[in-house]
């Protein structure tokens, strides 16, 4: 396994008018059967938003109306690559959608809306932390930045520490779901390791946005590779098997510029489509703050990778960057101008992410 590869997944939070949130019971997970609807990114999905819509169509038989990205959670485990877990808010299901729900028989056998205090005891601890963060923080703070369900960056401002709820699993829902949770679970479609091996991979890049006291943006020009020598924000690939994205941004600033700088808040989450022969990647841009004359004089370039550095006014930077990178920079500068409690921009190829225009949907013939 390539140490830079990660997986991606998307889930959906369906609230109702009473403040409850929809969860599903999986038919093949005996130990942790309660989950949020959603699933893994497929290579045919243009973005995590498309993943979320596709998964809900497959699992519930209806098309969700997605709203804002609630959080991005960088989830680690010893027996799999990290997962970039996207969790979206959706519009409440309409009466017509509720009547049209047809559960994916091979994977799900029940759904229920739960109040937060009950929900957070029913789902596994990692998912409880992730969903709990989204439920506790104001939606104006979205998307939250999380690492293994714990707040990072601006999310810390909205989520003071509190004791984790006790995990009760399906036992917390006794009497709320139809019979079936206590039966012997059918075998899963495939074992965990086979499933992980079958999933497509992406990569992640962590960059930092530095400006000087006059607002000029620091860019570096890479040495020629594959016939290109682009200007970019300082940063590079996250070594996903041994570091979090924030750690990757810190390491890259030290390697490329010789600076020891702590990444500030997350400014942008950009899903970048695959180029021919490459994987899609997730570009995470952190605020590097203001670089004064003394720090700029201390630049020590990583000469084997970086040809030069220069300060550009934002409009000048837009002319030397690729079009997606120029859009990403503009979005990150806009977020930087907001109060420190504001969340990052959700982007796709540098442009603001929007809900995918769903293709016509026909329920399965078995529905």
Extended beta strands in the chain, E state: 5-13, 21-26, 34-35, 38-40, 66-77, 80-90, 108-114, 144-147, 150-151, 202-211, 217-222, 231-232, 235-237, 266-272, 281-290, 306-312, 345-348, 351-352
62: DSSP letter: S
Chain centroid offset of residue 38 CA: 13
CATH architecture of residue range(s) 5-198? Alpha-Beta Complex (3.90)
**252: Cα within 13 Å, side-chain hemisphere:** 29
Q: Tell me: the pLDDT tens digits for 126-179?
A: 999 999 999 999 999 999 999 999 999 999 999 999 999 999 988 888 777 766
Q: With contact defined as beta carbons under 8 Å apart, do 170 and 122 qualify?
A: yes
**Domain locations in the chain as residue ranges:** 5-198, 204-352
* DSSP state at residue 36: -
Q: Is the pTM of this model over 0.75?
A: yes
Partners of 221 in beta bridges: 231, 308
What residues are paired with 208 via a beta bridge? 286
Is the pLDDT assigned to residue 335 strictly greater than 70? yes
Which of 3.90.79.10, 3.40.50.2300, 3.30.565.10, 2.60.120.620 is the CATH number of 204-352?
A: 3.90.79.10
DSSP H stretches of helix in 240-311: 245-257, 293-297
Position 357 confidence tier, pLDDT thresholds 50, 70, 90 = very low
Return the CA Rg of the chain. Answer: 22
Q: How far apart are CA 340 and CA 267, in angstroms?
A: 10
> Matching CATH topology for 5-198 and 204-352?
yes
Mapped onto helix, strand or coil, the DSSP state of residue 327 is helix
Least confident of 78-87, 153-162, 258-267, 313-322: 78-87
Q: 254 pLDDT band (50/70/90 cuts)?
A: very high
The pLDDT value given to residue 128: 97
pLDDT digits (tens, 9 = 90+) for 27-68: 877 788 999 999 999 999 999 999 999 999 999 999 999 999
At residue 361, the pLDDT reads 38
Q: How confident is the model at residue 180 (pLDDT cuts 50, 70, 90)?
A: low
More confident residue, 360 or 304: 304
């Amino acid at each position: 396994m390539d140490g830079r590869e990660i997986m991606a997944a998307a889930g959906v939070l369906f609230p109702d008018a009473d403040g409850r949130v929809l969860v599903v019971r999986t038919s093949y997970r005996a130990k942790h059967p309660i989950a949020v609807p959603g699933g893994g990114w497929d290579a045919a999905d243009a973005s995590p938003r498309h993943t979320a819509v596709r998964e809900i169509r497959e699992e519930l038989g209806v098309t969700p109306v997605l709203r804002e990205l609630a959080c991005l959670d960088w989830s680690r485990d010893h027996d799999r690559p990290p997962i970039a877990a996207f969790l979206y808010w959706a519009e409440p299901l309409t009466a017509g959608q509720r009547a049209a729900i047809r559960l994916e028989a091979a994977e799900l056998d029940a759904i229920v809306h739960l109040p937060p205090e009950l929900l957070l005891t029913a789902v596994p601890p990692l998912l409880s932390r992730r969903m709990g963060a989204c439920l506790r923080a104001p939606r104006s703070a979205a998307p939250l930045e999380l690492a293994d369900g714990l707040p990072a960056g601006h999310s810390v401002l909205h989520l003071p520490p509190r004791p984790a709820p006790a995990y009760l699993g399906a036992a917390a829902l006794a009497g709320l779901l139809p019979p079936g949770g206590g039966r012997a679970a059918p075998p899963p479609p495939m074992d965990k390791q086979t499933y992980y091996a079958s999933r497509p991979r992406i990569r992640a890049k962590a960059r930092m946005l530095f400006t000087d006291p006059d607002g000029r943006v620091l860019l570096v020009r890479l040495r020629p590779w594959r016939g290109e020598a682009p200007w970019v924000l300082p940063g590079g690939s996250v070594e996903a098997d041994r570091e979090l994205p924030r750690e990757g941004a810190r390491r890259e600033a030290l390697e490329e510029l010789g600076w020891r700088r702590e990444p500030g808040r997350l400014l942008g989450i950009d899903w970048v489509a695959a180029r021919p022969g490459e994987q899609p990647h997730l570009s995470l841009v952190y605020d590097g703050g203001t670089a004064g004359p003394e720090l700029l004089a201390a630049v020590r370039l990583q000469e084997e990778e970086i040809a030069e550095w220069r300060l550009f006014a934002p409009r000048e930077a837009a002319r030397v960057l690729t079009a997606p990178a120029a859009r990403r920079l503009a979005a990150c500068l806009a977020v930087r101008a907001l109060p420190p409690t504001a969340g990052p921009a959700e982007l796709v190829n540098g442009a603001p992410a929007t809900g995918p225009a769903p293709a016509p949907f026909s329920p399965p013939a078995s529905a």
